[in-house]
A and B are shown apart, each in its own frame.
Chain A
Amino acid sequence: DTAVSQTPKYLVTQMGNDKSIKCEQNLGHDTMYWYKQDSKKFLKIMFSYNNKELIINETVPNRFSPKSPDKAHLNLHINSLELGDSAVYFCASSQDAALQETQYFGPGTRLLVL
Chain B
Amino acid sequence: GDSVTQMEGPVTLSEEAFLTINCTYTATGYPSFFWYVQYPGEGLQLLLKATKADDKGSNKGFEATYRKETTSFHLEKGSVQVSDSAVYFCALSPGSYNTDKLIFGTGTRLQVFP
Is there contact, CB below 8 Å, between A48 and B104?
A: no
Which residues of A from 20 to 70 have beta carbons under 8 Å from B?
33, 35, 40-45, 48, 50, 55-56, 58
Contact with B along A68-98 (1 / 0, CB 8 A): 0000000000000000000000101010011
**A41-B106, A43-B107, A108-B43 known; A102 and B101 CB under 8 Å?**
no
| A contact residues around B98 at 8 Å (CB) | 50, 55, 97-98
Is there contact, CB below 8 Å, between B101 and A105?
A: no
**A33-B101, A42-B106, A55-B98 known; A106 and B51 CB under 8 Å?**
no
Q: Looking at B30, B44, B51, B106, which has the most chain A CB atoms within 10 Å of its CB?
A: B44
Q: How far is the CA of A55 from the CA of B26 in the complex (A)?
A: 23
A103 at the interface (CB under 8 A from B): yes
Among A55, A94, A102, which residue has its beta carbon within 8 angstroms of that of B99?
A55
Interface size class of A (residues with CB under 8 A): 20 to 34
Q: How far is the CA of A56 from the CA of B94 in the complex (A)?
A: 13
| A contact residues around B93 at 8 Å (CB) | 99-101
Task: Report the nearest B residue to A109, measured CB to CB.
Answer: B43
**A90-B43, A104-B46 known; A43 and B89 CB under 8 Å?**
yes
Q: Looking at B45, B100, B109, which has the most chain A CB atoms within 10 Å of its CB?
A: B100
Contact with A along B71-99 (1 / 0, CB 8 A): 00000000000000001010001010111
Question: 19 other contacts beyond A41-B109, A45-B103, A99-B97, with CB at 8 A cut-off?
Answer: A33-B102, A41-B87, A42-B106, A43-B107, A45-B101, A48-B100, A50-B98, A56-B101, A58-B101, A97-B100, A99-B32, A99-B95, A100-B51, A101-B100, A102-B46, A105-B44, A105-B45, A107-B43, A108-B43
| Residues of B in contact with A (beta carbons under 8 Å apart) | 30, 32, 34, 36, 38, 42-46, 49, 51, 87, 89, 93, 95, 97-104, 106-107, 109
